[in-house]
Structure 1
Amino acid sequence: MDSLFDRISEASKSYPKPNIHFSYGTAGFRTIGLDLVSTVFRMGIISALRSQKKFGKAIGVMITASHNKEEDNGIKLVDPMGEMLNQSWEEYCTTVANAKDEQELISAIKDIVNRENIDITKPANVLYGYDTRPTSVLLVGALENGLKAINAESVNYGVVTTPQLHYFVRCVNTKDYVPYGEPSVDGYNKKFAKAYITLMDMARVTPDTITSVNIDCANGVGAPQMAKIASVIGDNYLKANLLNTEVYVKNKLNHDCGADFVKSNQKPPESVPIIPGQRYCSFDGDADRVIYYYFDQNKQFRLLDGDKISSLIAMYLRDLVNTAGLTELNLGVVQTAYANGSSTKYMRNTLQLPVVMANTGVKYLHSEAEKFDIGVYFEANGHGSILFSDKAVDVLKNKEPQSPAQMDAMVKLAAFRNLVNEAVGDAISDMLLVEVILASKRWSLVHWDQSYTLVPNRLMKVKVSNRHVFTTTNAEQTLVTPAGVQDLIDNVVSKYPNGRSFVRPSGTEDAVRIFSEANTPENAEELGITVCRIVYDKAGGIGPYP
């Protein structure tokens, strides 16, 4: 064993740690790509240890910085069912990434081995992929050397979307009992295309009734992968017009385009020529988020974000579950405090579905969604998925329908599940789900948009001297410390019709984020600024705010 640690120590000399503190968060590690080389080398070792801890099950590693600017990059680990890395291992990742030299690195690795009782002589299996950033090739080399140093077996999937890598991990680890699918791009495309075509056929859609969808691919990896699955599906079922597909043109990735740009700026990319009445959606750089939008007859921009997608899917599933008579299954929705208040009311009051709040971060929503037989979860940014419990899968396979209508609904539910990437939010999968639902209801984006009216809202931030003094409860909706600040916020909120505001510390910088809602855009703005002022005056503000 000493020779193994000696080999790791020797290999790590080629990857000295820069004078930077790294922290593993919801998105893994993310910073300037050139600064991540030592961290990526070390995550190769951590991913192998995690695989050994899981008795040789495959662990995923994705090199991406999602919607960040092109010079950034990142790395995150994927657990055996395609879910995000168990939170208990995030601390290990942070500790290993920050080891100052070879001696400290080996000490940290040995500590993990001892704490987790890992047999380091056992096989390790790691699957990895990366996006189109210029630094990805450099970082892949560092990862491969880390895997080689610890004798891990590995599979390089090349340039793939983040959700595809999650999907491959789940497929590999389920192949010996209930296979989730074939762990390849072709397998992914064939499974989702088959489910999509089945649902479109059941909706009695014909080529002349298909509505074209214009897809802003953010000049990212979603462009080539969307083109592949669109080719498998065929024009008779999907008319996809791909925009912003300059994947390897310098400084194009996520530049003034993509889901994060559209959501943050409440406007379409200038590179997307908007025609009133046509349908548009945007992916982010690694294709795990999707949002829809259009221009109405008055040429006003209308956004259908993750909240709208969540409510559309929840409505569709509710109707199918009711028609199928599956009273033994509970369907629920998970949101964060950033969800628009109207969406929460619509799902609770109109759809009569339970809605629970989770902390910000997909890993928290995913965990809450697992508590339902069918759990729908989305963040407002367009990142989300649907989970089916073992009980739900068993019912769909084995329950005898009592009528043709029940049979039809159960077949649709089974096909719908096959169109979902249950491992993680997936822009391609979620876009296909939306297209199926809209086609089945013969809805335009206008019809969908009219399901409820958004409450005007604003998102602001205030720089503070120490974000760690801000602690929250109630799914981040209530501020616990600094003492007394929440009372001041509550007093201000009470003065505005439909008023709502909350404050939460940023996960990446010394700042707090302020969300506000009110009956008019002007009141939402005024409320947000007032809460910013409270934070600035009472809780150590150090920078300007809107």
Structure 2
Amino acid sequence: MAVNLRALYAFAREMYPKKNPNPIQYGTAGFRGDAKYLDSVMYRMGVLACLRSRFLDGKVIGVMITASHNPEPDNGVKLIDPQGEMLVGSWEEIATKLVNVSDKELEATVAGIIEDLGIDIGKKSNVYVGMDNRYHSPQLLKAVCDGVLSLKGNVKEFGIVTTPMMHFYVVAQNTSKAYGLPTEEGYYTKLITAFEKIRGTKLEKGNYKNKIVFDGANGVGARKMLQFLKRMNGSLNCEVFNKGEGKINHECGADFVKVQQKPSSGLPITEPNTRCVSVDGDADRVVYFFTDENGQFNLLDGDRIATLIADYLMDLVRKCGLDLNLGIVQTAYANGASTDYIVQKLKVPVACVPTGVKHLHHKAQEYDIGVYFEANGHGTIVFSAKAKEMIRKSAETNESSATLLNVIDVINETVGDAISDMLLIETILHSKGWDVKDWLNTYVDLPNLLLKVKVQDRNCITTTNAERTCVTPNGLQEGLDKIVANYQRGRSFVRPSGTEDVVRVYAEAASREDAELLAYEVAALVHKLAGGVGEVPTLPPKHNSHI
């Protein structure tokens, strides 16, 4: 197969010239930014996906066009490796280099990648491409496809899909359909069939009522949830809102609910204690919430989801009589009360890793059954090949093992999947006969607060110990420790943003007032020692009398 790299350069120069002079970094979620600067990035990621597939002997590589929970005008792109995992780290570096070189350097850079990695340019290459429903996604999808085609690769377009669906398609195809059929119907069928087998015909049980309100963040998740409901034989009573009438993630969706600590706009006034579910724009994050009889907002986030799932799975594994180790993976953002509950009540091993799903996923794979969720609601459960084989054999004679097999099929193990996670949560609540108040009462969250501090250069902040300890600038960690010591059950850490020049501050303490005071004290210290930009962060006026 003859591939003309000079033609690749000419096509890029004419059709997808590099417009953004600023460097861009491949983060945990790929490249993100203002859509008007992304045409060249998308074209080059099509080229890279084609090379990655050839490097892996023609295995399917996925490309997803999305900015997830970011608002418009942002968009982005991420690559999906053959087993549904995030792009391997060494290729993130290649991706970063490729998108940042000038148009004139593109031909030589691609040639260098081919030579350095010994890629046989004559091998087949297979790339799957999908997008969310942002208005600029179609033009960006075309750029990706043109990048693949410029190297004479094979490309298959899936149109508007959730990010988890793209991960599902890639794994299904690369496992010769053992994971499922790599189609939209195959995805629906696998999850719905398993969900309805476990659920049975008795749709309400104990305090569990078969009614949920679904906030689709005006993203693709709303569309796909409607498609699920058409196929679900009435097994889930669900009303879908924020279906696309407004802007993606604008005052709605999982990130809005988590950060703002209040219900999404666009939802009806519901009866007290109604289960409400919010996903983000590409449906890979999910959080639950409800308003009680007193009008009090209550959030059930990723920490709550992880503990609920781990408790259920531990019970099932005991009933199966199988010797399988289960562990939970968290980040420093996990609420301290959830960690205490896991260790003291559930007695499950817990590990802490740096922020980013790829870190949690890799750590979870060290267990027979690994449960991971970021506090923002992004996560899943992974089962080792050994665990699946033991469960499969046991299912021949053990009813609990048969149930566990169906549970595995409800789960999209490849990446956080908001709809799959929701179906699993509904399965567990139904099994336990719980409503949201039963779930909330398992433990009491420590009040916490997240702040951003604008700085001249976020790279001045470096961390260790899974981002819980600040290494530079000098004196910041020492000062932070002194501040934290003044608060009952106080905990705080700082970390640089992966995409902008801000430092993220997390703080928790025994009371809401203390959590706020602690957060703003730390934010002021960061501003002082890390080159803060603009005014020093201060508490809103109503709190000043407490300082």
Distance in 2 (CA, whole Å) between partners of 1:435 and 1:287 is 17
Residue 39 of structure 1 aligns with which residue?
A: 41
Alignment pair present for 1:257 and 2:233: no
Asked whether the equivalents of residues 506 and 519 of structure 2 are also in contact (C-alpha less than 8 Å), the reply is yes
Alignment pair present for 1:314 and 2:310: yes
Residue 212 of structure 1 aligns with which residue?
A: 211
Runs of 4+ in 1 over 4 A off after TM superposition: 206-210
Letter in 1 for 2:176: K
Distance in 2 (CA, whole Å) between partners of 1:207 and 1:520 is 36
Residue 167 of structure 2 aligns with which residue?
A: 166
Deviations 1:370-420 (A, max 9, x none): 11110000001111000000111111112477xx7xx12211111111010
Distance in 1 (CA, whole Å) between partners of 2:78 and 2:443 is 36
Alignment pair present for 1:323 and 2:319: yes
> Could you say what the CA RMSD is over the residues aligned between the two structures, in angstroms?
1.6
Kindly report which structure 2 residues correspond to 1:236-247, keeping only aligned pairs within 5 A, or say none: 237-246=235-244
Identity across matched positions, percent? 47
Distance in 2 (CA, whole Å) between partners of 1:379 and 1:206 is 30
Deviations 1:304-352 (A, max 9, x none): 011111110011001111121112x110000000010001110111000
Distance in 1 (CA, whole Å) between partners of 2:138 and 2:505 is 38
Change in CA separation of 1:473 and 1:400 when aligned onto 2, cut-off 3 Å = same
Distance in 2 (CA, whole Å) between partners of 1:112 and 1:346 is 48
Alignment pair present for 1:334 and 2:329: yes
Distance in 2 (CA, whole Å) between partners of 1:478 and 1:15 is 42
Distance in 2 (CA, whole Å) between partners of 1:521 and 1:438 is 29
| CA-CA distance at 1:479 after TM superposition | 0.8
Letter in 1 for 2:240: L
Residue 536 of structure 1 aligns with which residue?
A: 527
Residue 397 of structure 1 aligns with which residue?
A: 392
Residue 57 of structure 2 aligns with which residue?
A: 55
Equivalenced residues, count: 533
Deviations 1:219-263 (A, max 9, x none): 11011111111221121x1111101112xx4x5221111111111
Letter in 2 for 1:184: T
Deviations 1:492-529 (A, max 9, x none): 11111111001111111222111101000100011111
SS in 1 for 2:231: helix
Distance in 1 (CA, whole Å) between partners of 2:525 and 2:192 is 52
Change in CA separation of 1:232 and 1:3 when aligned onto 2, cut-off 3 Å = closer
Residue 137 of structure 1 aligns with which residue?
A: 138
Distance in 2 (CA, whole Å) between partners of 1:400 and 1:437 is 19
Distance in 2 (CA, whole Å) between partners of 1:475 and 1:361 is 11
Distance in 2 (CA, whole Å) between partners of 1:399 and 1:446 is 35
More off after superposition, 207-216 vs 59-68? 207-216
Letter in 2 for 1:239: N
1:289 to 285, 296, 301: 285
Asked whether the equivalents of residues 462 and 543 of structure 1 are also in contact (C-alpha less than 8 Å), the reply is no
Alignment pair present for 1:154 and 2:152: no
| CA-CA distance at 1:159 after TM superposition | 0.5
Letter in 1 for 2:130: G
Letter in 1 for 2:183: S
More off after superposition, 3-12 vs 59-68? 3-12
Residue 406 of structure 2 aligns with which residue?
A: 415
SS in 2 for 1:119: coil
Change in CA separation of 1:400 and 1:450 when aligned onto 2, cut-off 3 Å = closer
Letter in 2 for 1:143: V
Distance in 2 (CA, whole Å) between partners of 1:274 and 1:471 is 45
| CA-CA distance at 1:154 after TM superposition | 1.3
2:28 to 20, 26, 29: 26
Letter in 1 for 2:405: A
SS in 1 for 2:451: strand
Asked whether the equivalents of residues 11 and 145 of structure 1 are also in contact (C-alpha less than 8 Å), the reply is no
Gaps of 5+ in 1: none
TM-score, reference length from structure 2: 0.95
Distance in 2 (CA, whole Å) between partners of 1:489 and 1:99 is 40
SS in 1 for 2:504: strand
SS in 2 for 1:233: coil
Letter in 2 for 1:10: A
Letter in 1 for 2:331: T
Asked whether the equivalents of residues 395 and 401 of structure 2 are also in contact (C-alpha less than 8 Å), the reply is no
TM-score, reference length from structure 1: 0.95
Alignment pair present for 1:108 and 2:109: yes
1:299 to 295, 299, 310: 295
Gaps of 5+ in 2: 539-547
Distance in 2 (CA, whole Å) between partners of 1:68 and 1:488 is 33
Distance in 1 (CA, whole Å) between partners of 2:181 and 2:325 is 29
Asked whether the equivalents of residues 290 and 436 of structure 2 are also in contact (C-alpha less than 8 Å), the reply is yes
SS in 2 for 1:157: strand
| CA-CA distance at 1:210 after TM superposition | 4.7
Alignment pair present for 1:503 and 2:501: no
Kindly report which structure 2 residues correspond to 1:77-92, keeping only aligned pairs within 5 A, or say none: 77-92=79-94
Residue 70 of structure 2 aligns with which residue?
A: 68
Letter in 2 for 1:459: L
Distance in 2 (CA, whole Å) between partners of 1:28 and 1:387 is 22
Change in CA separation of 1:254 and 1:302 when aligned onto 2, cut-off 3 Å = same
Letter in 1 for 2:8: I
Asked whether the equivalents of residues 274 and 294 of structure 1 are also in contact (C-alpha less than 8 Å), the reply is no
Distance in 2 (CA, whole Å) between partners of 1:383 and 1:511 is 22
